[in-house]
Amino acid sequence: MTPQLDTVFAALADPTRRAILAMLLEDDMAVTDVAEPFEMSLAAISKHLGVLTAAGLISQEKRGRVKWCKLEPDAMREASVWMQGFGQFEAINLDAFERFLENELDP
C-alpha cells in the first residue's frame, strides 16, 4: 500500500468524515452547512475537513468570504481498486479476510 492509500483509509476510518463525504455527494457545500448537522464545534469540523483535504478526498476553496468544500471522487480510486482485490472472499467469510490481512501485515 502506498502512503497516500494509508492516508485515505485513515481519513475514512472516522464516521464523521464518512458522513461529511456522503453529504458532499449531493453538491458542494459551505463549511458552515457541513457543520450544521453535527453536534460539535466549527473548529472540530474544520479539523475533520483538514484530514479529508490532506487525503485528497475533498478540496476547499474560498468564494468571497465563504469557504466551500467539494468532493474529489478520484482520490478514492486507488482505495477502490485495492478493495476490489478482495472480491474473491465471500461477504460473510470475515475470518478468511482477517487471516489474509494478518499474513499481509506481518513484517
The pLDDT score that the predictor gives to residue 92 is: 52
The pLDDT > 90 percentage for the chain reads: 63
**DSSP-derived 3-state class of residue 61:** strand
Q: Residue 14 maps to which CATH number?
A: 1.10.10.10
Domain region containing 84? 3-105
Q: Which residue has the higher pLDDT, 2 or 11?
A: 11
* Mean pLDDT, rounded, for 20-25: 95
**DSSP-derived 3-state class of residue 24:** helix
* Mean pLDDT, rounded, for 25-32: 95
**DSSP-derived 3-state class of residue 88:** coil
Q: Say whether pLDDT at 10 is over 90.
A: yes
The pLDDT score that the predictor gives to residue 94 is: 66
User: Of 80, 100, 81, whose CA–CA distance to 89 is shortest?
Assistant: 100
**Residue partners of 59: CB distance under 8 A and separation at least 6:** 53, 69, 70, 72
Q: What is the pLDDT of residues 61-102, one digit of tens each?
A: 999 999 999 999 888 888 888 888 777 655 556 677 677 777
pLDDT, mean over the chain: 88
Place of cell 449531493: 26
Instruction: Report the alpha-carbon distance of residue 24 to residue 28 in Å, rounded.
Output: 6
Q: Tell me how many domains the chain contains.
A: 1
Strand order in the sheet with 66-71: 29-30, 66-71, 58-63
